[in-house]
Amino acid sequence: MDWKPNTDSHLTLHDQIIDWIKERIEKGDWCVGTKIPTQRQLAAQFNVNRSTVQLALDELRAEGLLQSKRGSGVFVSNSSWNVLVNKTNPNWQQYIEGSVHEPNYHTIQLINQYEQVDHIIRLGTGELSPDLLPTKQLEESLKEISLESKAIGYSSPRGSKALRTTLCTYLKKKGIYTTPENILIVSGALQALQLIAVGLLEKGSLVFQEQSSYLNSVHPFQSAGMRVMSVLRGKNLPEHLRRLKKNKQSLFYCVPTLHNPTGYSWTLEERIAFYQTCKELQIPIIEDDVYHELLFTSGIEPIKALDTSGQVLYIGSVSKTLSPGLRIGWVVAPPPVIERLADIKMQTDYGSSAFSQEIVAHWLSTGLYENHLGQLREQLKIRAEFVEKILYQKFQSLANWEKPEGGFFIWLKFKKPIVNKALFLNLLKRNVLINPGYIYETRDLYHIRLSYAYASLEELEKGLDILFEVCSEY
């Protein structure tokens, strides 16, 4: 896209621009319905006057290749494919729109998009700051990795035996006693959900979750044709689930430790009651436990540690703790389930990166991982306290929050329902990106998922200043 017209050419500038735009359309870079950049943007890109651009666009409009829509810009027109000599380009836009997978919500797409932009302050990002990743240590550790030819071929369906064996030892410390046959290595927790969705559930099955849920911002179950239903924990849960479930297949997806987005951790009593309820109602549990390592005070065990009946599918990962770029997570479940998920994983991507698996096995077995976790928790605590201090100073009249017990997030609750798309966009104009509550629960206009894990302290301070200013105006 850094093409410029050539001032030494025998062609006029505007003819060169016309040719370039036609080429974009012809090659499918700009397919039917694409909104093209504004005149101002094109003029800046081409380093020409706006009038030159205007001339070119007028001519393309006259040829029927572009069309203007009042107030919303200039688009590649529907007739463009017929006009061009080359009539037979596949119309990819039509393929895209008709396809099976649901498009992501617009706000989430904007978040994904602006997370790639450098100067944006990311107040909501659920990921470790580059500063918190042990990059140099990882680089050093690469020198100690020894590879075996068998290990870097196609993976066995369940993943590296060495990693699964090390994981068994690691999981014991959390109260989970298991064997390598009960473990599947996956490319992150989200892939685990995807495999469960296509591998274990009928279309139309119910997936229960708590209100405000990470599952509403990703769509592994919805895309596979399952119905996701939010419920509240508490006394009425058994009755409520019984009524909703009827005879349908169902699962309960939960994050009992450092819940995403609320940061809440269930008490032991809550865990026991919940487990008993699901067991009684024959509702298998997916326990997403990817934040467990980040509890500031350890102690509470996963629900899986209570599980005597293979009722719980347990999911862990190093994405929140060591490096998301490794793309390594794991599922612990009864062998028939693991076999089934492994079979689908093989059909999907032939296993996770052997190199990533070697690295994780190395970090787990040498103790590098636990050392790093200790330091990481300290750093996150400092960041949490830093943000809490700012909140106390500025936001007490506007919002409430709980002191975080670990992880990345403070679930900031505003006293008025001001967290709507307009607020999101206003902040974005000021280069501040937030994760509004409504992406986790459509009707929620009260919350922001504030992350103290990603932005630098300086950015956090500046971002919260802007957040305060913008919110005060509402």
Q: Identify residues 25-44 at the interface with a second copy (CB under 8 A).
A: 26-31, 34
Q: Stretches 23-31, 63-71, 207-215, 291-299: which one binds a second copy (CB under 8 A)?
A: 23-31
In the bound complex, what is the minimum distance in angstroms from residue 198's beta carbon to a second copy? 5
Q: Cα separation of 191 and 196, whole Å?
A: 9
Q: Which of 38, 41, 47, 112 binds a second copy (CB under 8 A)?
A: 112
Q: Please identify, using beta-carbon distances, which residue of 8 and 139 lies nearer to a second copy.
A: 139
422: contact with a second copy by CB under 8 A: no
In terms of DSSP bridges, do strands 66-69 and 183-186 run parallel, antiparallel, or are they unpaired?
A: unpaired
Q: Cα separation of 258 and 242, whole Å?
A: 27
Q: Stretches 47-55, 235-243, 348-356, 429-437: which one binds a second copy (CB under 8 A)?
A: 348-356
In the bound complex, what is the minimum distance in angstroms from residue 65's beta carbon to a second copy? 15
280: contact with a second copy by CB under 8 A: yes
In the bound complex, what is the minimum distance in angstroms from residue 194's beta carbon to a second copy? 6
Q: Which residues contact 195 (CB under 8 A, 6 or more apart)?
A: 186, 331, 341, 344, 345, 348
* Exposure class string for 380-397: b at 16+ Cβ within 10 A, else e: beebbeebbebbeebbee
147: contact with a second copy by CB under 8 A: yes
* Cα dihedral 426, 429, 434, 437 sign: positive
Q: Stretches 94-102, 292-300, 457-465, 466-474: which one binds a second copy (CB under 8 A)?
A: 94-102
273: contact with a second copy by CB under 8 A: no
Lateral strand order in the sheet of 285-288: 183-186, 329-332, 312-317, 285-288, 250-254, 206-210, 227-231
397: contact with a second copy by CB under 8 A: no
Q: Which of 4, 47, 51, 92 binds a second copy (CB under 8 A)?
A: 92
Q: Please identify, using beta-carbon distances, which residue of 64 and 324 lies nearer to a second copy.
A: 324
In the bound complex, what is the minimum distance in angstroms from residue 21's beta carbon to a second copy? 14
Q: Please identify, using beta-carbon distances, which residue of 264 and 454 lies nearer to a second copy.
A: 454
106: contact with a second copy by CB under 8 A: no
Q: Cα separation of 402 and 387, whole Å?
A: 12
247: contact with a second copy by CB under 8 A: no
347: contact with a second copy by CB under 8 A: yes
Q: Stretches 104-112, 265-273, 378-386, 459-467: which one binds a second copy (CB under 8 A)?
A: 104-112
- For residue 472, the one-letter residue type is S
343: contact with a second copy by CB under 8 A: yes
165: contact with a second copy by CB under 8 A: no
Q: Cα separation of 424 and 216, whole Å?
A: 17
Q: Which of 225, 229, 413, 418 binds a second copy (CB under 8 A)?
A: 225
Q: Which of 174, 271, 327, 377 binds a second copy (CB under 8 A)?
A: 327
101: contact with a second copy by CB under 8 A: yes
User: Other C-beta atoms within 10 Å of 310: how many?
Assistant: 14
Q: Please identify, using beta-carbon distances, which residue of 49 and 79 lies nearer to a second copy.
A: 79
User: Other C-beta atoms within 10 Å of 318: how many?
Assistant: 22
In the bound complex, what is the minimum distance in angstroms from residue 284's beta carbon to a second copy? 4
209: contact with a second copy by CB under 8 A: no
131: contact with a second copy by CB under 8 A: yes
In the bound complex, what is the minimum distance in angstroms from residue 472's beta carbon to a second copy? 32
Q: Cα separation of 3 and 424, whole Å?
A: 34
**Which tokens is 122 given?**
């990311």
326: contact with a second copy by CB under 8 A: yes
457: contact with a second copy by CB under 8 A: no
User: Other C-beta atoms within 10 Å of 100: how many?
Assistant: 7
* Exposure class string for 122-153: b at 16+ Cβ within 10 A, else e: bbbbbbbbeebbbeeebeeeeeeeeeeeebee
* Exposure class string for 13-47: b at 16+ Cβ within 10 A, else e: bbebbbeebbebbbeeebbbebebeebeebbeebe
167-206: which residues touch a second copy (CB under 8 A)?
Answer: 179, 181-182, 187-188, 190-191, 194, 197-203
282: contact with a second copy by CB under 8 A: yes
356: contact with a second copy by CB under 8 A: yes
Helix 135-142 / helix 354-366 crossing angle, nearest 10 deg: 100
In the DSSP assignment, the letter for residue 271 is H
